[in-house]
Amino acid sequence: MSNLADSPLDSVAVAMNDVPEGYAYPQRVRFEIRQNNLADYRLTADFLNMIAPTANLEGVIIQHEYGIYGGDCGNHLLTLMREIRKPIITTLHTILKDPAPIQLKVLREVIRLSDRVVVMSKKAVGMLEEIYGTNRDKIVYIPHGIPDVPFVDSNFYKDLFGVEGKKVILSFGLLSRNKGVEYMIDAMPAILEKHPDTVYIILGATHPHVKRSEGEEYRLWLQKKVQDLKIEQQVIFQNRFVELSELCEFLGASDVYVTPYLGVDQITSGTLSFALGAGKATVSTPYWYAEEALAEGRGVLVPFKDSGALASAIINLFDSETERHAMRKRAYNFCRGMIWPCVARQYLDLLVQVKEERQAQPRANYSSKRILQSGVQELPEIDLRHLQTMTDSMGMLQHSKFSVPDRNHGYTTDDNARALIAVLLANEAQDEFETEPMIFIYLSFLDYAFNYETGRFRNFMSYQRDWLELVGSEDSHGRAIWALGMAVTLSKKQSITAFAVHLFNRALPVMEGFSSPRAWAFALVGIHAYLQYFSGDTEARRVRELLASRLYDLFKSRALPDWPWLEDSLNYDNGKLPHALLLSGRWLHNNDMIEMGLKSLDWLCRIQTAPEGHFSSVGTHGWYAKGGVKARFDQQPIEANAVLEAALEAYRITRDERWMKEAYKCLNWFLGKNDLQQSLFDPRTGGCRDGLHPDSVNQNQGAESTLAWLMSLLLMYQQIEDIELEKLPSKAIEKSKV
C-alpha cells in the first residue's frame, strides 16, 4: 500500500443525523447514524468492517467535535471506534484549555483509539501534549482545507447581490450568540460616518441547535438593534444556508471579512480559513486560531467585545487601499497550501503511513461487547414503538390485549409516572424529537391527576376521562413524586424543569402522613433525584431524612437473621425498598442504612434466584409469607426491574462486581433466562409481555411490563457507559503518555 496516494481512490461517507427524518444526502453517503442511538454506532462499525474488503476500505477518518455525537460529551463515538478494525485518523475540531473531567476523559480515549490525531493549528499541538498528555509522535498538523478560488477584485461579484459601488463587510456561518455579531453592528455607525457607502452582510442561517432551543430570538434581537441604530439599509441579513459556489461569490464580493467572536478558546475556524483563502482583508478578535492565521500581517486583531476597535480597524483598511490589497495578497499566498487537493494529499500520505505501521505491528481490537458481563448477549436496541402505541393524547393506557391497547381499562397515574421516567431516560440516550412530545403528555397527565385542593394524586381514570376515585393510593402518589424528581434532574428544558418543580413541591407535603413503606421508597428515589439538581432545598432534605429514618427504623425493628425484611411477606416491587435505603444511606452518609440495604437486597436476590442460577421472582399467585413457601408464578416484570435498579445502586456504592451480575441476571430474565426459557421482550413490537404463568408467557403487553423492561434496559445502557468512562485514565492519576 506504499503507492496508495498514487492510486485511483474512492471514498464513502457516514452521516450523523440530529433529526429523526435525516437529510437528503448525496450518493456518496453510504450509512447514516441516529445521533443519540447507541446501537447505531455499533451497526456502523459492523457495516464498515463488512464492506472493507469489497469497497477497498483502507482506513477511517473521523471528524471530532463534542457536540456531533450522542452520549455524554459525545462518548457514543467511543463505541464505534472500539469496534472498527481499520486504521483511524481523527481530526480534532475542538481542544479545550480547561476541559471538564468528562471532556478530558472522552477526548483522551478518542486519542488513544486513534492511530493519529490531526490538528489544524500549531498551538493545538502543544495543548494536546501539555493538557491531554498526548505523545508528540501521534499528533499531525494538517491545515484546514479550503476551496481553490481565484484572486479577483471584489467589484467583479458585487452586482450579483445588488451592492455594486459599495464597500462590503461580510460575516458568514451558522448564527449563534458566541459569534459576537452585535459588536460589529454597533461598529457600523462609526464606519458609516467615514464611509457612508458601506454595507454589512450577515450570511448564514441560525444554528439548528440554537433554533430548536430558543427559536430566532438572537436574530430578531440583532434586527431590532439594527432598527434602533437606523441602519436597516446598510445591514443585510441573509438568513439561509448557501452552497459552496454561492458562498465563494459572497466572499468574492466582500472587501473586508470580520469574525468578531466572543471567546478565545476556538482552535480552528473554517469560515476564517475560507476568507483568507479567498484573499480577503480580515479583521478578527484574538481567538487562538485567528492569532495564528492572521500573524505576519495577514489580518488585523482587535480586542474582544470592542465595537470601537472594530470600527477603527475597518476604517483604516478602507482608508488605505494599498495596505488592504497587500494584506489580501499575503493571506492568499499563505493559503495556497491549504486548498483541498493539497490537504487531501497530506491525509492520503498519513493513511499510507498508519497502514504500514499496522501491518508491521498489529494491535488487538477492543470490542465494547467485552464489557457486557455475566454472559449476557448484546443488549437490544432501545425501541419505543410499543410505548408510543400505548400512548394517546391523554396519556399511557393501562392494559393491552396482546399488543393492541385496551381502552376498557383506561389510564393510571402509576403507569404515566413510570412512563415519564422511561422517556426521560430515553431522552438521554436517544433523539429528543422522538421522546419530548411524550414527556409533555405524561407530565400533563400528572398535573391533571393532581388535586390541588387535597394535595393528593388520583390514580384510576376511565377511557372517557372520568376519575374513578377521589384519592389515589399512597403508592401511586409516591410514584408520581419519583417521576417528578426524575423530571427535575433529567429534563433538558428549563420550562419542563420549572413545571416539575412546581408540581413536586405541591405534592411533597402529604408524604409525611403516609404509612406505606413502598410509597416512602418511591418518594425517596424521587427526592434524591430532585436534590441532585436543587441540593440546597432544605424542605426536601428534611422530608428525605424523615422518610429515610422511618424506613430504616421499620427494617431495624422487624428484620430477623433469617428474614431480614420489614414485612411478614414479600409482595410486589420489593427491590424498591432496599434501593431507597441504599440511596438514603449514601447521600445521608449513614453506613447503618447502607448495611441494612445491602443485607436485605442480598437476601432478596438469593431467594429470587433459581437453582439453575437465573432470576426467579416471587409470584403474585400467593406471594411469599414468612414461614411459608414462595409462590413461583405468576412472575411479573415489575420485580425484575425493581431488583435491577437496587443492584445497580449497590454496585455504585460498593463497586462489587457481584451486584452487576445480579443486575444482568434481572435483565436477562426479560430476554429468556427465566423459568420458562422464553423471552418476555418482543422485538417485533418493542413491548414486553406481562409475565410468566406456570406453563406459558402472558401474551398481553401492558404498560407496567413494557415500562419495567424499558427502564431496565435504559438504566443498564447508562451504567455500561458510566463503567466505560470510569475505566478511562484520569489526568490526575495517570501521567503516562497516550
User: Of the candidates 620, 705, 627, 716, which has an alpha carbon nearest to the alpha carbon of residue 663?
Assistant: 716
* Nearest Cα to Cα of residue 354 among 738, 90, 6, 80: 90
CA–CA separation, 8 vs 10, rounded Å? 7
- Structural domains of the chain in order of their starting residue, each with its CATH number: 4-145+341-370 (3.40.50), 155-336 (3.40.50.2000), 385-722 (1.50.10.10)
187 contacts: CB under 8 Å, gap ≥ 6: 307, 308, 310, 311, 314
Q: Which has the closest alpha carbon to 500: 529, 473, 538?
A: 529
The three cell numbers of residue 494 are: 428549563
> Does pLDDT of 364 surpass 70?
no
What gap in Å lies between CA 143 and CA 24, rounded to an integer? 29
203 pLDDT band, cuts 50/70/90, is very high
Report the first-to-last Cα separation within the chain, whole angstroms.
27
* Mutual angle of helices 181-194 and 307-319, in 10-degree steps: 40
Q: Do residues 551 and 515 make contact, with C-beta atoms less than 8 angstroms apart? A: no
Q: How far is CA 575 from the centre of its chain?
A: 29
| Nearest-angstrom CA–CA distance, 698 and 634 | 9
pLDDT mean over 6-20 = 78
Distance CA 720, CA 38 (A): 11
State how far the Cα of 355 lies from the Cα of 438, in Å rounded to an integer: 48
The three three-digit cell numbers of residue 478, written as one number: 409516591
DSSP codes, 227-288: HHTT-TTTEEEE-S---HHHHHHHHHH-SEEEE--S-S-----HHHHHHHHTT-EEEE---H
Overall average pLDDT of the 725-737 stretch? 51
Tell me: the pLDDT tens digits for 45-84?
888 887 766 667 889 999 999 989 999 999 999 999 998 8
Contacts of 370 (CB under 8 A, 6+ apart): none
Whether the predicted pLDDT of 98 surpasses 70? yes
Split at pLDDT 50, 70, 90, the class of 723 is: confident
Query: Given a cut of 60, is residue 562 above it in pLDDT?
Result: yes
738 has a pLDDT exceeding 50: no
Q: What's the pLDDT tens digit per position in 149-167?
A: 999 888 899 998 999 999 9
For residue 468, the number of C-alpha atoms closer than 13 Å in the C-beta half-sphere is 13
Altogether, the residues listed in the chain come to a count of 738
Q: Model confidence over 684-709: pLDDT tens digits?
A: 999 999 999 887 899 999 999 999 99
For range 634-651, the mean pLDDT: 97
Q: Phi-psi bin for 63: left (phi > 0), alpha (psi -120 to 50), beta?
A: beta
On the question of pLDDT at 5 being above 60, the answer is no
Task: Confirm if 65 and 120 have CB atoms less than 8 A apart.
Answer: no
Show Cβ contacts of residue 349 under 8 Å, excluding neighbours closer than 6 positions: 5
Q: Which residues contact 693 (CB under 8 A, 6 or more apart)?
A: 633, 634
As a whole number of angstroms, the distance between CA 622 and CA 626 comes to: 12
The SS3 assignment for 35 reads coil
Give whole-number Cα distances, 224 to 186, 191, 258, in Å.
Answer: 12, 19, 21
What is the phi-psi region of residue 215: left when phi exceeds 0, alpha when psi lies from -120 to 50, beta otherwise? left
Taking phi first (over 0 means left), then psi (-120 to 50 degrees means alpha), and beta for anything else, what does residue 297 get? left
Single-letter residue type at 440? F
Q: How far apart are CA 258 and CA 182, in angstroms?
A: 12
What pLDDT score was predicted for residue 377?
46
pLDDT value, residue 378: 67
Confidence at residue 543, expressed as pLDDT on a 0 to 100 scale: 97
Kindly list the distances between the CA atom of residue 533 and the CA atoms of 391, 446, 527, in Å, as whole numbers in the listed order.
29, 21, 10
Using the predicted structure, report yes or no on whether residue 369 has a pLDDT greater than 70: no
- For 635, the grid coordinates are 412472575
Residue 281: pLDDT band with limits 50, 70, 90: very high
Cα–Cα distance measured from residue 63 to residue 462, given in angstroms and rounded to the nearest whole number: 52
- Measured between alpha carbons, how far is residue 215 from residues 176, 205, 207, 221 in Å? 11, 12, 10, 12
Dump pLDDT digits (tens) for 652-683. Answer: 999 999 999 999 999 999 999 999 999 999 99
Quick: pLDDT tens for 19-29.
878 888 888 89
pLDDT of residue 53: 65
C-alpha cell at 142: 494538517
For residue 734, what pLDDT band results from cuts at 50, 70 and 90? Answer: very low
Contact 151, 333 (CB under 8 A): no
Predicted confidence band of residue 503 (pLDDT cuts 50, 70, 90): very high
**Cell digits of residue 558:** 422487624
Q: What is the pLDDT of residue 729?
A: 58
The closest of 461, 427, 426, 469 to 444, measured between CA atoms, is 461
Supply the pLDDT for residue 434: 73
pLDDT tens-digit readout, 472-481: 999 999 999 9
Cell numbers given for 465? 376521562
C-alpha 710/C-alpha 476 separation (Å) is 19
Residue 495 in this model has a pLDDT that exceeds 50: yes
- Chain mean pLDDT for the chain: 91
- Lowest mean pLDDT: which of 209-213, 503-507, 532-536? 209-213
